[in-house]
Structure 1
Amino acid sequence: MALLALATYWLARSTPTGGGPGSSSIRPSKHEPDYFLKNFSVKSFAGNGRLKTEIQGAEGYHYPDTDTLEILNPRIRSYSEAGALTVATAKKAISNGDGSQVQLIGDAVVTRESPAKDQPKLEVSGDFLHIYADEEKVKSDRPVTLKRGNDVFQADNMEYDNLDRVLELRGRVRGTLRPRGTTP
């Protein structure tokens, strides 16, 4: 009886689990796209029919293992409730599944036009920008240039909160402030 128990224990330990047909185990998925898009445009609208966001790209690839969308040569246009237009471009963008976070990589530029005449256009550029859409934040751990009207600032990294209107520039920061009405 002990010999039978020992043989059963050994057999259970040395038999591979899963992997065969009909097995319920889950195999790790490969990082391969399950669909792709070419020269595409995707629009999303608010409940009242107002355009909220338009994403254009030369190519797009969805990866199911990470639930990310990779877009080559993206152009993202987003309208706030007040009608302010924000445009983001880069060589590549990586978005999470719900679009709440977008990483812009390579010649990244985010421009916010203001619907109010008294507020100048704001432009943030750098090699990498991380956008948090729901929180209306832009962060970068790499050097950035910020232009607001005629004023220009450069920093080693930054964090911008559009809702609180707070910009934090870190590292080596340089800036040029010009009076209104002058050109750079």
Structure 2
Amino acid sequence: MKAQITIDRARIWIAVAILGFIALGSFWIENAFRQRGVEDARKSMIRLEPDYYVEKFNFIRLSNSSKANYHLTGEKLIHLPRTDQYEITNPRINSFADMRPPVTIIAGRAIVDQKSDTVHPKREHDVVRLYDNVLVERPDGENSHAMRLETDYLTLTPDDDLITSDHQVTLFTEGIEAHAVGMVANNSTQHLELLSKVRARLKKRGS
């Protein structure tokens, strides 16, 4: 009888020991995954941090004919390594070309995607996205009238010399004030098209 009781107790203790090992193993695995998650999150946050910045910068983009066609300035430029983008505070862009008036674009902020084969999807062109109180101005030219465009978002594609937006825009030109949603402007041809919900009114002379 005592032998039977001893055997039963031994079995109980063996079962308790096995449960203890399972519990410790589960705790170790959970703790390991938790630590790994914390490290991955920390690394992810590190990658989100800018890796360098430049203050009061000037950048000139040259055309194929080696003539300056875009002059970009700003208060501060930072590089975002995770997305390989540049964020610019208070950007100012001046576009120059022969035989046409210059165009000036200012905004509160800009994000620049440079053409690249190392990102996915591959970037075929430079793209500048402008946000917050965006203003585009062009003076009178030989074949064009002065123009001012106001919006909260624009996309500039320097390679194609295009300025586009799918947001609300307000256009002032030649005594006309026009409001629309969406626009496409070709800086090379000086052609601008308002896309939808267009409303316009003629301004009185001197107003």
State if a TM-score over 0.5 links the two structures.
Answer: yes
How far does residue 154 in structure 1 lie from its aligned partner after superposition? 0.7
Query: Residue in 2 aligned with 1:78?
Result: 95
Residue ranges of structure 2 left out of the alignment (5+ in a row): 1-35, 37-42, 116-124
- The answer to whether the aligner puts 1:160 opposite 2:184 as a matched pair is yes
Tell me, yes or no, if structure 1 residue 149 matches structure 2 residue 174.
Answer: yes
| 1:39-118 to 2 correspondences below 5 Å | 39-46=56-63, 50-98=67-115, 100-116=126-142, 118=143
Flag structure 1 segments of 5+ consecutive residues without an equivalent: 1-18, 20-26
CA-to-partner distance for each residue in 1:111-153, whole Å, 9 max, x for gaps?
233541x421122211111222222322222211011232110
Distance 1:80 1:114 in 2: 14
The CA distance in 2 between the partners of 1:55 and 1:166, in whole Å, is 22
Alpha-carbon contact 1:85-1:114 (below 8 Å) kept: no
For residues 93-117 of structure 1, what are the alpha-carbon distances to aligned partners after superposition, in whole Å with 9 as ceiling and x for unaligned?
A: 111114721111100012233541x
SS at match of 1:30: helix
For normalisation by structure 2, the TM-score amounts to 0.64
In structure 2, distance between residues paired with 1:132 and 1:52: 12
Structure 1 residues 32 and 81: CA distance shift in structure 2, 3 A: farther
TM-score, normalised via structure 1 length: 0.71
Partner of 1:30: 47
Please identify, of 118-127 and 40-49, the stretch whose mean Cα deviation from structure 2 is larger: 40-49
Which of 106, 127, 130 is the equivalent residue of 2:155?
Answer: 130
More helix by share: 2
Task: Answer whether contact 1:137 1:161 (CA < 8 A) is retained.
Answer: yes
Q: Aligned residues, how many?
A: 156
Which has more radius of gyration?
2
Decide whether aligned partners of structure 1 residues 33 and 81 sit closer, same or farther in structure 2, where only a CA change above 3 A counts. farther
Could you tell me how far apart the structure 2 residues matched to 1:48 and 1:138 are?
21
Match of 1:121 in 2: 146
What residue number does 1:169 align with?
195
